[in-house]
Amino acid sequence: MHPKGGDTQTRAEHVTQRGWPRLALDRRTIGLSALFAIIIVAAMVKAAYMAPPFSVGDAVMITAMILAGLASGGVMVWSWRTSMPAAPTLARRELMDAADVAAVMIVDGQGIIRHWSRGCEAIYGWPKALAIGRKRVELLHCQTSVPPAELWQTLKSRGSLSQEMVERHRDGRELIIGGNVRLFEHGGDRYSAVVSVTDITEQRRAEDALRLSEARLATAVSVQGIFIYEVDLIERRTIWTTAGDRFFGGEAGAAADHWQGEHARQIGKLVERAVGSGEDRLHFDFDFHHADGMQRFAEGWARIIRDEAGRPIRLLGTHLDVTERRAGEEALRAGEAERRAILATVPDAMFVCNERGVVRACSATAGEMLGYAPDALIGTRLADLIDDQRARKAIHREFLQETAAADRGWPVPVRVCRANGETMPIPSWSAMPWSRAPASMSCSDGTCGRPSPPRSVSTG
């Protein structure tokens, strides 16, 4: 309903603490007050020089001065009374002009715009003259998830409503508008809706971009098996984490009690370590169990954020599942140990080389035969051990010709140089053709005068 008591409040604004009205000091009132004072002073001066008996002219003058004084006094009082609401009216008009900057529209029960502020002009681009009298739905092409008629009924039942909708700018751009609506009842089943609108287009676009970025991050860390988290160390609660289903195991969307318990235990250990050592950056290894009971291994990195007093307040960390990597490293170490065991016990002088003929490993017999410590031959080219002054390509070409001939093959006789400068002839084999020889192996027997069959060794 209409607010009441406005006139009483207006009159009260002009009453002082003692209950007397304030004097409205405008130019008109000041001028009339000055005229009244001049007439009174002139009448008093004139009366001072007049003495009875009074002539007719004196009586007329006295009457005229009295009438002039009364008239000026009456006009002054009228000006005073009429000027009283002038100041608050001006202040109210200034406030209304300032409030008009806000984006507010008033819509009646038929959806017709009755008021259109300058703030609405700035948002939608429609001037007041073209907006007032038009239906909001038609002018702004409103798109809502709920029909307008249903929204109006909801507003009438609740009295207020907050709604987000898509509307259109005058130039055709779509705007995402957040609106707060309050119902105003005029009486006689007549209503108006006071709508305060805010353009949240850029905010929603930024939120959508952030959600897309978070989704991409979640996909990336899920593919890599990474778990990221942030913890409030004061309240000991998790602020944010990536999905833990892939890292800790379990079906997507299932209850997270299992992995949250595992995570809480890890955080407890980290906090104790951080408080005890004063470190801000932590690296740690740990094992955990999937929901199916399978043991997994992981590495973790954490950053402790402290306040000005040095107390830990937040923790940012990541977990990386390294189970498969650890298994691969273990298999590689086992293969390397196996190869070294074979090379340490094989009775032949055996060399394991890469595709360029550089020695990667050799047997203990090879070092004894050539007079080198076994590790001293690592990184040496096999061609440098052969006693032949020709270029390496010529030696390589002769090996190809010798092994490719129909009546020839392995072993190929060569002369090799020992560490003391002596040379000795030996037969040699290769487990792979020299023409391709990736991870090729050259094998020779220097312990006896008879050749031994070629052997294959896994190089890992």
Residues 386-405: tens digit of each pLDDT: 776 665 666 666 666 665 55
Query: What pLDDT is attached to residue 171?
Result: 93
- CA-CA distance, 23 to 1, in Å (whole number)? 34
Query: What pLDDT is attached to residue 449?
Result: 37
Domain spanning 101-199: CATH superfamily: PAS domain (3.30.450.20)
- Is residue 196's pLDDT more than 70? yes
Query: What pLDDT is attached to residue 430?
Result: 58
**Mean pLDDT of the 207-212 span:** 90
Lowest mean pLDDT among 130-134, 168-172, 303-307, 350-354: 350-354
Query: What pLDDT is attached to residue 80?
Result: 66
CA–CA distances in Å: residue 37 to residues 24, 43, 72, 281: 17, 10, 9, 87
**Mean pLDDT of the 14-38 span:** 57
DSSP string across 158-185: HSEEEEEEEEE-TTS-EEEEEEEEEEEE
CA–CA distances in Å: residue 41 to residues 28, 35, 66, 69, 129: 20, 10, 12, 10, 57
- Is residue 2's pLDDT more than 70? no
- Is residue 262's pLDDT more than 90? no
**Mean pLDDT of the 329-334 span:** 88
Query: What pLDDT is attached to residue 243?
Result: 73
* Mean pLDDT over the full length of the chain: 75
Range 343-444 has CATH code 3.20.10.10: no
The full set of domain ranges for the chain reads: 20-93, 101-199, 225-321, 343-444
Query: What pLDDT is attached to residue 72?
Result: 72
Residues 128-174: tens digit of each pLDDT: 999 999 999 999 999 988 888 888 888 888 989 998 999 999 999 99
- Is residue 265's pLDDT more than 80? no
The winner for highest mean pLDDT among 136-145, 284-293, 301-310, 420-429 is: 136-145
According to CATH, the topology of domain 225-321 is Beta-Lactamase (3.30.450)
Query: What pLDDT is attached to residue 64?
Result: 76
HSE-CB for 175 with a 13 A CA cutoff: 21
